[in-house]
Every structure is written in structure tokens, then in C-alpha cells.
Amino acid sequence: MTTSTERITPPPASPDPRVHAEARPRREWGVVPWLGVAIPGRQSIRVWQRNRDVFLQLWKAEFVPPLLEPLIMFAALGLGLGTYVQLTGDVEYIQFLGPGVIAMFSMFAAVFEALWGAYFRLDKQGTYAAILATPTRPEEITAGEILWAASRGALNAAMIMLVMLALTPAYDLVSSPLALLTVPVAFLAGLSFGALGQAYVSQARSVSQLTYFFSLLVMPMFWFSGGFFPLDEFPAWASTAAWFTPLYHAVEVNRALVTGNVGWSDLGHLAWLVIVVPPLVWLALWTMRRRIVG
Amino acid sequence: MSAIIQATGLVRTFGDFRAVDGIDLAVEPGEVFGMLGPNGAGKTSTIRMISCVLPITAGSLFVDGLDVRLHDREVKQRIGVASQDDSLDEDLTVAKNLAVYARYYGVPRDVARARITEGLELMQLADRRDSRIDELSGGMKRRLVLARALMNDPRLLVLDEPTTGLDPQARHLVWRKVRLLRERGVTILLTTHYMDEAEQLCDRLMIMDHGRQLAAGSPRALIEQHAGRDVMEVHPTEPDRAAVLAYLANAIGESGRIEEIEDVVYVFGAKEEQAHAVEAIVRDPYRVHFRRANLEDVFLTLTGRALVE
């Protein structure tokens, strides 16, 4: 044991000063300078797996609402209100409703996960802090969360598809095997919803602020994306506004897949859904990195 | 053998606030190194930089020879961190919490299984394997966080205020576990604002305040150098104060130091006969304490303030 107080000896500058000096141009923690974020790696999958494990732990509570809510909507709007609705052509309202229900409820699943779930993990449960202490970068937490939100969306779509297939003998809801592709479409759209949710959560300072995202963005999308009624009768600006939302394009693609009337315009909708993913994911990575790292 | 942690002129700012203001640090393999200081001293910021969750503002910082700016993954792979907030996954069982954590480190499944069993036994949680987190007491949660920090078999264990908020019994159990880990050769860096914890656990420590390092060394060396062997604490009544100070000023001379902090008079490096003399002045033995110096006194002499308000 030392008997006098020592001034801690200054350590040598660096084990390899050359590497140190070269790498200084801000590649800190893998951040790509022109992107401002690091490219997420496979740790994202482990974050995804953590969420999956929690979900499976709670599956009994998590499985029922996604089945029940669309059923209620089919009953209330499809069979109730729908009997008073006269659409052009010989399409029943419940048939018109189906593709929208898939898109809307998988949006809800993704948004709930990316908003409330993520906010609690970030701010209340300390989950992000715990993960960050492991060899996981902030960007990989965000990427894992977005992937998980999209997965929840896809899972919801699959469950609704099962409900629709069960109802098809009675109400003729599904008329093409292409309808199964609505599940990957839900995943694709879920990436956008998840990224938007993460970006918003990165700015949120309280749970109540999350409600704004829901009221100002999600609910208008829900009602005005062509899932409940065609947008043709609205002024042009309304359908223009709808064009900028992911949900509108998801509804359109789903409608084509469920009915089997697939055209070139649907490829456009699909392209829209693909193209917006990188910028939205970047936005989420960048904003969330600033929130987590400070 | 080179140091596990080497920091030179380490700085972290938040806006204009200098949370860590130029710290030099060298932690050797196998030792328990403590950072002692009040809340806001910069302890947590320092260990967050060491564990690569907070970027450094200036200076240099190497963990196990790796620059934290460039090798965040590798550094994290070698460190186990037990943070002050428990941050356990409430929805998962005790064992599953550890399994999920081991997966972040890429620990193979069979290795993880063995480590989980070992870690739970080490932390006396084996019978809690399948419990939910909200069924655990505060002390159990803290021990589980310790077990979790061991999942990657770390070279360096970082403990941020390991016993804050625990009752005395739970604290002693955590201390025993920390000593057990040191005997196994794990290097430990811990922060605390309890001087008894620092004295109990640390081979060497650094006393911090306002983001700066005030002194560093072994607890005994720090006490001898800054507080002397013995301390007299006098709580005089207002009328007696002047007489006490007059006596002390005359009696102590070069051999000790007098500090007035709030309404208490401290004499560092006091002698027993001086205490008897002061007792005679204040006419009340309960107003005079003569005792061995401790780390609290070191902090007092260095800052003129108490460690824990």
C-alpha cells in the first residue's frame, strides 16, 4: 500500500498515435460524417429479439385486441353502416372496407409500438440505457425498434387476413391469392410508421405529447386515406394531401392485391412506399441518436 | 502491465456546464478503484464516458488500451456496467433478463446458460430464477444488475453507486459480493458518495468535486495526508465559541488545522489532551468528539463542505 498520496501519473498519449491521429476526423462510434449517423449492424436484430421475447411473454394480452378490433369494424361498418351505402359497381361496402382495414390496423400496431412502447423503453423503463451499455450503438436500438414496429404491423395484417379468409365464404372478402402479399406490404409501410414514430418519440418529453402524434397525424390518415370511402368526391387538395401519407398508398396496394385487379399504378404506390423508407429511417436514426447520446 | 483505464485531461461539457473538467485517471488491473464525491461531482459522467455511452468532449480516454472514440464496440464488449437505476426488463423473468443481456454480447447460448446459473448462485438469487422483477426486493434487483453486468465475463466492472437507496443489510450483502468479485481478479471501478463504502471497498480512490479531481490515493494515505490521525469535533454553544477558538488557536499551532464548518469546529490532527481541555471549556462532554479521521474529513478539509448533505 502506498503511504503517501500520489498524484495520478499521466498515461502515455496513445498506444498507437498514428491510428489515433488518422481516425480523428469524426468517425467516432462509427458515425459516417456525411450522414451524421452510424450504419446499424446486426445488433439491431438483437434489439428486435428483445422486443419479440417480451411480446411472446405477454402474448395472451397482445393477441386478442388485434383480432377483436377488426372484427368489430367489419360488423359495425361492413354489416351495419355498410348496408346503407351504395357504391358504384356491384361492390358491397364490406368488400370495399377489407383492404383498408388491413392497412389501418397494421398502422395502429406499428405506431403504438413505435410511440408508447418505445417511449416507455426510452424514458421510463431504462431499457435503452441498459442496451446501450452492451456493444450496441444508439442507431441499432432505433433500427431494431423500427424493424419491430414493422413486424407488429405485419403480424396484425396476417391476423386480419385470417379473419377475412374466415369471412370470405359468407361475404366474399378476398378474391385473389395475391391478398396474402398484404402482409409484406404491411411490413413495408410499418417501416415508415415505425421510423416516423421513433423520430417523434425522440422529441417527446412526456407521455401526453405522444397523443398529438396520434391526433394530428394518425387519426387523419386513418379517416382520409381512402380506406373508408374513395377520395374522388373530395376537392383535389384532399387527395393531394392523402398522396403524401404512407397509409394511402398501402390502402391502394392492398385493394389491388385483395381484389386481384393489379395495374401499373399499383407499382407506383409500391415504389412510393419503398422510396420514403430511407429518408424516414435516416430521420429517426439521427434524431434518436441526439436524444440518446445527448 | 498497462492500465485498464487511462484518462488524460478528460473533459465533458453540457452546454456551458463542465460536468467533467480535466480528469487524469489510471486504473490498474485487479484493483478496486473508487470515485468519491457528492452528487454532481462528475462521477457518473466519467463512467458513462468510460463505458462508451457518452461521447467525450476533450482529452483522451483509453480502456484496455482502446480509444473509446473509435472502439466503442470492443470497449463495451470488455466492460460490465451496473448502473444506478436498475433498468431491468420488468416483463421478463430473472433468468430471461440475463439471457437477453447475454445475447447483446453475442455469448453462445450454452455458455450463457452456464453463466446465468453461476451468476444467480453468486448473487444468491438461484431460487429466484423464474421470479418476475416486481417480486424482487431492492437489494435483489441490485444484485441481479450485478449478475447481469457479469454476463460477458468482463475485464472491467463498472458500478455506479452500487448501494444507493439500499437498507444497511442489503448494502453489506452487495459489499460482500463486490469483494468476492475482486478476489476473483475482476478490476472494479465504482462511484459512491458514501465514505464508508469507499473505505470498505476501494484499494485506491479519487475524490472529486465540480468535475475536478481533488486528491487521489489509498484511503489510508489520503486520510493521513489531509486529515491527520485524529479529529476533534466541537459543537460549542454560542457564548463558549470564542473561548474554544481562542484556546485552539493557541494550542494547536503547526501540528493541526482548525476548520469552522456551519456551527461545528473541526480540528484535524488533534491530540487527546486538547480534547480534554476543550471539554473543560464547554463543560459538556457530549459537545466534544475525539475520533479517528476518515474520508469524510478528507473531503471536508479539501472543500470545506460535507460529502452528503
Q: What is the ipTM of this complex?
A: 0.89
Chain B residues with beta carbon closer than 8 angstroms to that of A136 = 76, 104
Across-strand partners of B209? B212
| Local structure of residue A90 (DSSP, 8 states) | S
Domain B229-292 has CATH 3.40.50.11740: no
Average pLDDT for chain B:
92
* Structural domain boundaries in chain B: 5-221, 229-292
Report the Cα–Cα distance between both ends of chain B, in Å, rounded. Answer: 40
What pLDDT is stored for residue B253 in this prediction? 77
A145 residue type, one letter: E
Instruction: Kindly indicate the confidence band of residue B233, based on its pLDDT and cuts at 50, 70 and 90.
Output: very high
The cell numbers describing B85, all together, are 437505476
A218 residue type, one letter: V
What pLDDT is stored for residue A19 in this prediction? 45
**Structure-model confidence comparison of residues A9 and B292, the more confident one:** B292
Q: Do B72 and A30 lie within an 8 Å CB cutoff?
A: yes
Contact criterion met (CB below 8 Å) for B175 and B33:
no
The cell numbers describing A77, all together, are 361498418
Across-strand partners of B234? B265, B288
d(CA B93, CA B132): 5
**Beta strands B204-209 and B32-36, pairing class:** parallel
d(CA A69, CA B263): 68
| Backbone angles phi and psi of A159, in degrees to 5 | -70, -40
Q: Is the pLDDT of residue B203 over 90?
A: yes
The closest alpha carbon to A190, from A221, A151, A159, A224, belongs to: A151
pTM: 0.90
What pLDDT is stored for residue B309 in this prediction? 53
- Facing B218 at nearest CB: one of A2, A7, A43: A2
**Displacement of CA A234 from its chain's centroid (Å):** 28
A108-122, A221-235, B18-32, B86-100 — which is least confidently predicted?
Answer: A221-235
Instruction: Kindly indicate the confidence band of residue B60, based on its pLDDT and cuts at 50, 70 and 90.
Output: very high
Under CATH, which number does the domain B5-221 receive?
3.40.50.300
What pLDDT is stored for residue B108 in this prediction? 97
The residue assigned the cell 402482409 is A183
CB atoms within 10 A of CB A258: 24
Chain A residues at the B interface, defined by Cβ less than 8 Å, are 1-15, 19-20, 23, 27-30, 43, 46, 49-50, 53-54, 57-58, 125-127, 129-137, 293-294
d(CA A30, CA A37): 8
Q: How many CB pairs under 8 A join A and B?
A: 132
> What's the whole-number mean pLDDT along residues B107-126?
95
What pLDDT is stored for residue A230 in this prediction? 86
d(CA B4, CA B72): 15
- The pLDDT tens digits for B148-186 are 999 999 999 999 999 988 889 989 999 999 999 999 989
| Backbone angles phi and psi of B234, in degrees to 5 | -120, 130
* Structural domain boundaries in chain A: 37-293
Blockwise average pLDDT, block size 10, chain A, 294 residues: 44 46 64 94 97 89 81 88 83 90 95 94 93 97 98 95 92 93 97 97 94 89 88 85 93 95 94 98 97 88
Q: Do B216 and A6 lie within an 8 Å CB cutoff?
A: yes
What pLDDT is stored for residue B255 in this prediction? 75
| Local structure of residue A10 (DSSP, 8 states) | P
